[in-house]
Amino acid sequence: MISIGITGGVGAGKSKILEYIESKCDCFVLTADRYAEELEMRGNVCYEPLIELLGDDILSDNLEIDRRKMAAKVFADDSLLKKVNDIVHPAVKTGIIEMMERFENEGKIRFFFLEAALLIECGYKEILDEIWYVHADVDVRRKRLKEARNYSDEKIDNILASQLDSASFAANADFVINNSGSLENSYVQIDERLSMYKYTDGISGDKRLEVNS
């Protein structure tokens, strides 16, 4: 099994890229944000620590954490953001490592793809085989965010300022997907990258990666 991280700035089109990848190869795709939401659910590892930190007024009527209430409280107090991240990020990373180990031992999939906006900042480069960066020009991303999400220029500016720039993403990537143009063009790039890999059965029957020269 080879583990690959998918990252990129807001509006780069990571979701569409992941949908295509999932349709093309034998893989498991995990989105870090969705996994974090799962860990914040009642009975899971982040639930009690978050309530202890933020108070039970972040709960909905069914006693699950209401993410909108949690976000409102966190953004009203900058000091809480780091404390929330210190609870959630390590738990997510630990769970992902355990998941990857389980998939590796089971030998049922060839690729494990992890999507996260903070992939590089949170140190996932150390535990993944490769990092793929989905790039799109800033003007393209702005247009997409305005059309698809109705974001204002001010909101886009604030998000862009909080994320790595293209040069930093690219410097940490093993492969860059230029998604500024058509999706079809991006799909060709992905197909070419995936075609680099072939698998042979090891003596034990495990899947072992080989890269064509």
pLDDT confidence of residue 58: 95
CB 9 within 8 A of CB 169: yes
**Placement of tokens 């933020």 in the chain:** 54
Do 121 and 206 fall into the same domain?
yes
Do 208 and 121 fall into the same domain?
yes
CA distances from 19 to 27, 79, 120, 164, 177 (A): 11, 36, 22, 24, 14
**Domain limits for position 79:** 33-109
Do 197 and 116 fall into the same domain?
yes
Which of 109, 127, 159 is at the close of a domain? 109
Number of domains in the chain: 2
Do 58 and 5 fall into the same domain?
no
Do 126 and 147 fall into the same domain?
yes
Do 21 and 42 fall into the same domain?
no
- Whole-structure pTM value: 0.86
CB 3 within 8 A of CB 27: no
CA distances from 31 to 117, 151, 174 (A): 10, 22, 19
Do 121 and 17 fall into the same domain?
yes
Which of 78, 109, 140 is at the close of a domain? 109
∠ CA 20-100-111 to the nearest 5 degrees?
A: 30
- The per-residue pLDDT string of the chain (213 residues; one tens digit each, 9 = 90 and over) reads 999 999 999 999 999 999 999 998 889 999 999 999 999 999 999 999 999 999 999 999 999 999 999 999 998 888 899 999 999 999 999 999 999 999 999 999 999 999 998 899 999 999 999 999 999 999 999 999 999 999 999 999 999 998 999 999 999 999 999 999 999 999 999 999 998 886 433 323 333 333 332
Q: How would DSSP label each residue in 57-88?
A: GGB-TTSSB-HHHHHHHHHT-HHHHHHHHHHH
pLDDT confidence of residue 204: 30
